[in-house]
């Protein structure tokens, strides 16, 4: 119902942060982003990093709605928001691990192809540089295939829902990755935290 409620909303804003870790240690500075959805589907998103963030809340909830391994109520209470205290329900959704693994396999392959395409687009580079680039890309492709052949990914989402409006107001995603690189087992994690606000029932009064 929360997924249907968000999909039916004309417009809303969200802010979030993504952080990556390895062996329970933070790897990079968290990447901050904010987005706005208008007329149900028109998504604009900005990030404090050069690399764009691809995160559509309706798509995330829709995929969880179709491919979850279980939904559990973990908390029921009151949450303070900008508009005051509201009654909320927090649910934990486990995504099917084969779905998570396949999604990240596809995403990482696409990211590699994008990088390789950009690298190969410069027609002004010398032959020696081009040959070196091709060698590096081939080695990187081999390492990627080795990693993906043993990749196992799991995702867990904690979603705080406004009980009265049946809309999500906060979402926490924790994705864990296990793979091998050069025969060495590696564990990585990704944490995404998102807050929703400024829900509007009409797209005519767009929030600027």
| Segment 44-69, tens digit of pLDDT | 888 877 665 677 888 899 999 888 99
The pLDDT confidence band at residue 26, using thresholds 50, 70 and 90, is low
Mean pLDDT of 109-136: 66
Average pLDDT over residues 32-50: 82
Q: Considering only residues 30 and 174, tell me which one the structure prediction assigns the higher pLDDT.
A: 174
Q: What pLDDT is recorded for position 130?
A: 62
Could you tell me which of 158, 157, 152 has the C-alpha nearest to residue 188? 152
Output the CA–CA distances (angstroms, integers) from residue 20 to 46, 89, 103, 177, 188, in the order listed. 19, 27, 18, 11, 7
Q: Please report the pLDDT score of residue 129 as a whole number.
A: 57
Of 53-67, 109-123, 193-207, the range with the highest mean pLDDT is: 53-67
pLDDT at 193 over 70: yes
* Among the listed residues 79, 77, 100, the one whose alpha carbon sits nearest the alpha carbon of residue 157: 100
- Average pLDDT over the chain reads 84
- Give the predicted TM-score (pTM) of the model: 0.81
First CA to last CA distance, the chain? 28
Residue-wise pLDDT for 73-106, tens only, equals 998 988 877 777 899 999 999 999 999 999 999 9
Work out the percent of the chain whose per-residue pLDDT is above 90.
43
Given a cut of 90, is residue 122 above it in pLDDT?
no
173 CB contacts (<8 Å, ≥6 apart)? 60, 155, 156, 157, 190, 191, 192, 193, 194
Q: Where are the domains positioned within the chain?
A: 2-21+30-99+150-199
Give yes or no for residue 141 having a pLDDT over 60.
yes
């Amino acid at each position: 119902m929360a997924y249907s409620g968000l999909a039916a909303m004309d417009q809303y804003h969200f802010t979030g942060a993504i952080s990556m870790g390895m062996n329970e240690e933070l790897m990079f500075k968290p990447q901050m982003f904010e987005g706005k959805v208008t007329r149900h589907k028109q998504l604009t998103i900005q990030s404090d990093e050069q690399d764009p963030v691809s995160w559509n809340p309706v798509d995330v909830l829709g995929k969880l709605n179709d491919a979850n391994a279980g939904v559990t109520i973990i908390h029921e209470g009151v949450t303070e928001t900008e508009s005051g205290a509201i009654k909320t329900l927090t649910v934990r959704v486990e995504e099917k691990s084969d779905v998570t693994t396949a999604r990240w396999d596809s995403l990482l392959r696409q990211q590699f192809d994008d990088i390789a395409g950009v690298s190969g687009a410069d027609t002004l580079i010398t032959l020696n540089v081009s040959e070196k680039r091709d060698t590096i890309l081939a080695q990187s492709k081999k390492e990627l295939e080795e990693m993906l052949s043993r990749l196992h990914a799991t995702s867990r989402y904690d979603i705080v829902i406004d009980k009265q409006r049946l809309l999500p107001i906060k979402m926490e995603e924790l994705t864990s990755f296990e793979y091998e690189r050069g025969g060495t087992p590696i564990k990585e994690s990704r944490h995404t935290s998102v807050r929703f606000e400024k829900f509007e029932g009409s797209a005519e009064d767009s929030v600027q």
